[in-house]
Each structure stands twice: as structure tokens, then as C-alpha cells.
């Protein structure tokens, strides 16, 4: 399960010629903490097929169907999570992507399901209108939109192709990021990767494939890719790793552009990954909302030493933005396993060391090259002098030693 962060932080601008030359840390203080229990389960809509009444039926190690509710113990590696699958309903957690809408409420979405395309075919795709009560430390789900494709806009057969209502599932798209607009929502996803457009009721209206420099960008989960019938023939070509698509999607302040930030670096024809400033780099690709076309402009987001992926992305103003950057670790270093190759339930084989939110600058001046990293806050040491935390952390501080942290906005 993934955890959601809404962060308000002031980060001052520095002058530097290099994207990475003078990374500066800024202090962060916890001012509120709200919790949505991981075991938050809601029923599928009344008109949904029986297949969606329960979820997580295909999360067994051998991919055989599990019918009994709660018969498959949940684990994170060798650590029990305290939850068991299948669920009687659809899980609301974990959130991936958030956007404030200016009235104290937010839109977010549930990630595609249970980790991959094969085990998420009974996970209904959802958008959520939410609010937080910081005094009580709770989150309210104002409205949930279950996503559908009644007009057959998906350019491939969906899991529920023959159903009347055509609800979308985690076997169809891996939704990761969201931007509300006047007539609906733009959503970034990872199987294509695609940009998806939904109307205000959650109906799919557009599926836009990714092109960069005139060439398609494809992940190994792209629906046009198939294995060869003969093992001596070459594998199908793709240039983006699995789960490397639009983890981040930001919107320009004038509302005219979207900026899709890939979670994984693109691969060059020689097998190397794109770089900037001597570091592995992720593409930020510009999209024109009115024409529904890629503009041909892009930037490179260089990962810092210790960083491995991004978690979310939103604009602050016309040229600056917030980006979550993280490693693949989870758990605190104080509870690291003595032998990482032999993990135990009471320790962490790969503790979290690098969880940050960067302020970056991307403008006409650096289009086609690296964004400028202005500074960051460290999510592993957030000051908590007023003891606002409701769980986690320690004396005078709060930390976020989670593998994935996927929501940030002002």
C-alpha cells in the first residue's frame, strides 16, 4: 500500500550554472498529519460486473484464482502487512498523484491495483475528490469516479470488453498522475505510456500515445508488443522500462500545457540510458491541451546521487515546480537487517536513505537540456517541534521511510 503526502513548503531560489552543482537543503517543518487507514475498502458500483465485487483474486504466487475473502496473506517482501486478500470490494489506497483545486479540496487517484498488469485485472480504476481535516487527522472522500470506456476509445480490447458498462481495470491502464481541467481530467499512465482524457463523469474520451523527437515511446506493457513465435527471432523493441511512464503530470499555470514526467530513463539505441550533467536523466515532455498534440519540446530531469525514481510533479508558477525524488529503499536504517541477502520480518533489507522533494526550474532558457535543481527538503528528517505527527518518526521529528511517496502539491 502507498501513502499520500500533501506538502506546503517554501524553497528559496539559488543561482547556479549547473543543474546539480550546488544542491541546497532547506528545512521542513510538519504542520499537519492526516491518515487514511490502509484497509479502506469501498463497494464497486451497482452496475459493475460481478468480477469487480471483489479484488485481489489474482495476487497468489502462482497466479491461480483465490476465491475466499482474506485467504492470501499480504506481504511486503517477507514482512507481513497485516492485510489479506482478496478484498470484499475495491481498495482506495494507495494514492498516486494529487492536485489542489483551490477550494481546500483535492483530486487524486488510486494506483492501478496490486503491482502489475497481470494481477490487477479485478482492480477498478478510480479518481477521488478528497479533503483533509488536519485537526482531527482524517481524510474525507467526497466523491469517487469509477473510470469507464463506453465509447470504445481504448485502442485495444479491455479486460471487460464484452460487458455493457465497460469499467476500466488495472489490467487496461496503470494510472499514476492527474490534472483536473474544466471538462474533466487528464491522467498520466504507464503501460503505454499514454495520456488519458476523461470527462467529468469518468468516461474515457481520448488515449494519446507518446512520441518524442518523432519516435514512439513504448514500455514492455504496450498493447502493440507481442513475443515472436520463434525464439531465434529478435524480441519486440521498446525504449522504456516497465513502470517507467508518467508517474508525474503537471499543468502550466495558464492551463494550456501538460508536462509529463517519466519515472524511468529512456534507453538509447545502443542500450545506454539518457543522461544529463553526468547522471541518469528522466524526460519531461510538453503536451498542448488544445490541439492534443506533443509540442516537440522537452527537458531532462537529472537524478541526484542516491535517487532512483520520481514520485510526483506539480508546477508552482510558470517556470518552477516540485518533484518527489526517491530511492527504492523502505524502512529506517536503525532497523536494517544484518544480512540483506537473508531478510527477516523484523528488519529491513534495503532501508530508505533518499526521499526528497526538489524545487526545479524549467523554462525556455533550458528547454532541450537539464532542468535546474534549486534545492530540496529531506523527507527523512522533517522537524516536528509541536508533535503534529500521528504515527512514525521520533522525538522532535517525522520521517517518511516508505518505498514510494507519490503525492505533492502546494
Tell me, what's the pLDDT at 20?
Answer: 58
Q: Can you give the CATH number for the domain in which 359 is found?
A: 2.115.10
| pLDDT tens-digit readout, 400-409 | 999 999 999 9
CA distance 353 to 327: 7
Q: Is residue 285 part of a domain?
A: yes
Picking from 50, 287, 312, 32, the residue whose alpha carbon sits closest to that of residue 167 is 50
Lowest mean pLDDT among 149-158, 167-176, 225-234: 225-234
pLDDT-derived band at 8, boundaries 50, 70, 90: very low
DSSP annotation of 39: T
Tell me, what's the pLDDT at 301?
Answer: 99
Strand, coil or helix: what is 366?
A: helix
Query: Would you say residue 14 has pLDDT above 50?
Result: no
Q: Is residue 287 part of a domain?
A: yes
Q: Is residue 365 part of a domain?
A: yes
When pLDDT is averaged across residues 1-26 and rounded to a whole number, the result is 50
Query: Would you say residue 6 has pLDDT above 80?
Result: no
Predicted TM-score of the model (pTM): 0.93
Tell me, what's the pLDDT at 23?
Answer: 87
pLDDT-derived band at 19, boundaries 50, 70, 90: low
Query: Would you say residue 70 has pLDDT above 70?
Result: yes
DSSP annotation of 363: -
Q: In whole angstroms, how far apart are CA 300 and each of 244, 266, 390? A: 15, 11, 37
Tell me, what's the pLDDT at 11?
Answer: 30
pLDDT-derived band at 18, boundaries 50, 70, 90: low
One DSSP character per residue, 119-139 reads S-TT-B-EEEEEEEETTTTEE
Picking from 213, 278, 203, 207, the residue whose alpha carbon sits closest to that of residue 239 is 213
- For the chain, the average pLDDT equals 94
Query: Would you say residue 2 has pLDDT above 90?
Result: no
pLDDT-derived band at 63, boundaries 50, 70, 90: confident
Lowest mean pLDDT among 10-19, 54-63, 141-150, 262-271: 10-19
Q: Is residue 351 part of a domain?
A: yes
Contact 326, 308 (CB under 8 A): yes
| pLDDT tens-digit readout, 311-366 | 999 999 999 999 999 999 999 999 999 999 999 999 999 999 999 999 999 999 99
HEC profile of 51-86: HHCCECCCCCCCCCCCCCCCCEEEEECCEEEEEEEC
Q: Is residue 75 part of a domain?
A: no
φ, ψ for residue 51 (rounded to 5)? -55, -30
Domain residues for the domain of 354 are: 41-48+88-398
Contact 113, 170 (CB under 8 A): yes
CA distance 47 to 179: 27
Torsion of CA 50, 142, 405, 61, to 10 degrees: -10
Tell me, what's the pLDDT at 16?
Answer: 36
Picking from 321, 311, 260, the residue whose alpha carbon sits closest to that of residue 97 is 311
Query: Would you say residue 92 has pLDDT above 70?
Result: yes
**How many domains is the chain built from?**
1
Q: Is residue 60 part of a domain?
A: no
Q: Is residue 214 part of a domain?
A: yes
When pLDDT is averaged across residues 32-39 and rounded to a whole number, the result is 96
Lowest mean pLDDT among 59-63, 168-172, 221-225, 374-378: 59-63
| pLDDT tens-digit readout, 101-145 | 999 999 999 998 999 999 999 999 999 999 999 999 999 999 999
Contact 325, 358 (CB under 8 A): yes
CA distance 327 to 346: 21
Q: Is residue 342 part of a domain?
A: yes
% residues pLDDT > 90 (the chain): 92
Amino acid at each position: 500500500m502507498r501513502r499520500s503526502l500533501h506538502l506546503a513548503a517554501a524553497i528559496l531560489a539559488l543561482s547556479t550554472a549547473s543543474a546539480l552543482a550546488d544542491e541546497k537543503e532547506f528545512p521542513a517543518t510538519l504542520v499537519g498529519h492526516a491518515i487514511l487507514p490502509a484497509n479502506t475498502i469501498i463497494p464497486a458500483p451497482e452496475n459493475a460486473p460481478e468480477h469487480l465485487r471483489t479484488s485481489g483474486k489474482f495476487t497468489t504466487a502462482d497466479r491461480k484464482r483465490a476465491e475466499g475473502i482474506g485467504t492470501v496473506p499480504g506481504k511486503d517482501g517477507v514482512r507481513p502487512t497485516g492485510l489479506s486478500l482478496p478484498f470484499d470490494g475495491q481498495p482506495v489506497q494507495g494514492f498516486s498523484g494529487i492536485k489542489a483545486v483551490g477550494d481546500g479540496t483535492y483530486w487524486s487517484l488510486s494506483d492501478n491495483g496490486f503491482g502489475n498488469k497481470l494481477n490487477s485485472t479485478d482492480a477498478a480504476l478510480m479518481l477521488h475528490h478528497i479533503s483533509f481535516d488536519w485537526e482531527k487527522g482524517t481524510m474525507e472522500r467526497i466523491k469517487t469516479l469509477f473510470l469507464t470506456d463506453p465509447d470504445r476509445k481504448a485502442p485495444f480490447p479491455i479486460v471487460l470488453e464484452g460487458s455493457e458498462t465497460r469499467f476500466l481495470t488495472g489490467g487496461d491502464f496503470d494510472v499514476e498522475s492527474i490534472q483536473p481541467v474544466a471538462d474533466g481530467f487528464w491522467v498520466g499512465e504507464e503501460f503505454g505510456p499514454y495520456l488519458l482524457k476523461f470527462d467529468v463523469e469518468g468516461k474515457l474520451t481520448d488515449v494519446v500515445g507518446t512520441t518524442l523527437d518523432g519516435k514512439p515511446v513504448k514500455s514492455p506493457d504496450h498493447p502493440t508488443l507481442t513475443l515472436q513465435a520463434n525464439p531465434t527471432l529478435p524480441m519486440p523493441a521498446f525504449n522504456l522500462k516497465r513502470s517507467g511512464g508518467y508517474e508525474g503530470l503537471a499543468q502550466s499555470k495558464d492551463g494550456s500545457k501538460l508536462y509529463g514526467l517519466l519515472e524511468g530513463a529512456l534507453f538509447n539505441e545502443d542500450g545506454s540510458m539518457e543522461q544529463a550533467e553526468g547522471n541518469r536523466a528522466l524526460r519531461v515532455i510538453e503536451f498542448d491541451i488544445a490541439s492534443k498534440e506533443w509540442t516537440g519540446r522537452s527537458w531532462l530531469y537529472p537524478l541526484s546521487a542516491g535517487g532512483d525514481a520520481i514520485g510526483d510533479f506539480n508546477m508552482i508558477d510558470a517556470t518552477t515546480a516540485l518533484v518527489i525524488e526517491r530511492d527504492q529503499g523502505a524502512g529506517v536504517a536503525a532497523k536494517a537487517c544484518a544480512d540483506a541477502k537473508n531478510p527477516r520480518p523484523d528488519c529491513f533489507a534495503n532501508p530508505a536513505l533518499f526521499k526528497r522533494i526538489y524545487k526545479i526550474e524549467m523554462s525556455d532558457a533550458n528547454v532541450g537540456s537539464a532542468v535546474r535543481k534549486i534545492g530540496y527538503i529531506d523527507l527523512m528528517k522533517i522537524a516536528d517541534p509541536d508533535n503534529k505527527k500521528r504515527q512514525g518518526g521520533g522525538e522532535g521529528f517525522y520521517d517518511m521511510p516508505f518505498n514510494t511517496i507519490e503525492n505533492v502539491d502546494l
